[in-house]
Amino acid sequence: MPHLSIDMLTFGTLAIALLALMLLDRLPSVQNFHSFLNSLNSRGGNILILFGAGMYFFAHSMRVFYYLFEATRQGFIAQDNAFALMGLQFATSTAFGGAFGALLKTMTGETDSQRRNTDQPPTTPEKRHIPNTEPPVVRDIEVPKEEKKETV
């Protein structure tokens, strides 16, 4: 039996599940699917997507790393193969690092000036009037005027 990667199994399983749902007439409505996509466009949905992407790229980085170890050990490639090292660098720094950095930025939060139009405004408690806490009123106080002295 040929070797199937995890990606082929994952996408194949999703395709078979979609086909089964179509045949059983159990697909979600367009409105339900639209609300699901809107939930992914929230901060929590972004964290979930970035977490999945980070773990996906991390797993592929480890696969590339161990594949290069094995290929070097068996003599298929030289230890200083530039293309293999560039592939490993892309997998570890660009792909995984980008997804993980975006995940950390999303989890740290944002200020009000950075808030997107799709996010819900923060809820603030109502301002309540507390009696006898009015600021003091400053009243005019007459200051005695100095008399001018005439000098000769």
Say how many residues make up the chain: 152
25-43 residue pLDDT tens: 999 899 998 999 999 888 8
pLDDT at 1: 41
Kindly state whether residues 47 and 31 are assigned to the same domain: no
Backbone phi, psi, residue 50, to 5°: -70, -35
Count of structural domains, the chain: 2
CB proximity list for 45: less than 8 A, separation 6 or greater = 39
122 inside domain: no
Residue 109: Cβ-neighbour burial (10 angstroms; 0-12, 13-18, 19+): exposed
| Mean pLDDT calculated for residue range 75-83 | 85
Kindly state whether residues 62 and 88 are assigned to the same domain: yes
Kindly state whether residues 47 and 82 are assigned to the same domain: yes
Point out the least confidently predicted range of 78-87, 95-104, 137-146.
137-146
Whether the model clears a pTM of 0.85, i.e. scores above it, the answer is: no
Kindly state whether residues 18 and 47 are assigned to the same domain: no
116 inside domain: no
127 inside domain: no
Range of the domain at 52: 42-107
Kindly state whether residues 47 and 29 are assigned to the same domain: no
Per-residue confidence at 61, pLDDT binned at 50, 70, 90? confident
Which residue do the tokens 């290929």 mark? Answer: 71
Kindly state whether residues 46 and 30 are assigned to the same domain: no
Kindly state whether residues 50 and 102 are assigned to the same domain: yes
| Mean pLDDT calculated for residue range 6-34 | 90
Distance CA 15, CA 9 (A): 10
